Amino acid sequence: MLLLLVLCAGLAMLAVLGLGVVWKLYRMPASSMAPTLDAGALVMVDRLAYVRAPVARGDVVVFTPPHASGQVWAKRVIGLPGDRIAFHGDVLSINGLPVQYDDLGPVVPGSDIRRLTERLPGRTHTVLETRDAAGPGGQGEWTVPLGRYFVMGDNRDNSDDSRFWSPETFLPHENVLGRAVRAWNPCAAPRCDDGSEPTLLGEHIQ
């Protein structure tokens, strides 16, 4: 019995240490990553993810923005070093190839905000697009410098991201705190606005 208690205590201590060293929780300040992460979402970050493997296109990374010291943001990696990124009329292209989209319809009936499935190379996830926006912002073409990443929010018409930064302030690798792996989006129990049920273990981040 004593051995079992010692074992349980040891496992609990390892879990606490792991939460501080390997994983860390961050609260998201805004909705730029909706519908993946809502404003106020609690996100678990794997701080050693990029020790084990390189940053991959489609990853949701948590970082300190180069132009907003003291803050912690989350965005999706769209462009890797050397990539050519273009964004015209809400259509994203990577190295000359347009990204494919599937229209999932409005968030709620009659809404101008629509859900789209975005098919990045090797990764599929959902983004939001506002159809009545006065012309999508952040139009242009960019080449990602070495040691930096081009990041965008999934809430495409409501995100301060690399489209609006100069290449010199694209996300530096050293500013990346880790990869977002699970999220607890704030919602009223027992069901969220989309009808889903909040889970104790959170949701895996696509």
Q: Which of 32, 93, 111, 159 is catalytic?
A: 32
Q: Which of 24, 31, 69, 75 is catalytic?
A: 75
Question: Nearest CA to 158 among 136, 180, 140, 139?
Answer: 136
196 a catalytic residue: no
3-state secondary structure of 181: strand
Question: Nearest CA to 77 among 55, 44, 53?
Answer: 55
- What amino acid occupies position 132? D
Q: How far apart are CA 88 and CA 6, in angstroms?
A: 60
32 a catalytic residue: yes
DSSP letter string over 46-69?
A: ETTHHHHS---TT-EEEE--TTST
Half-sphere exposure of 111 (CA within 13 A, CB side): 12
- The full 3-state SS of 81-98, as one line of letters, equals CCCEEEEECCEEEECCEE
> What is the set of active-site residues?
32, 75
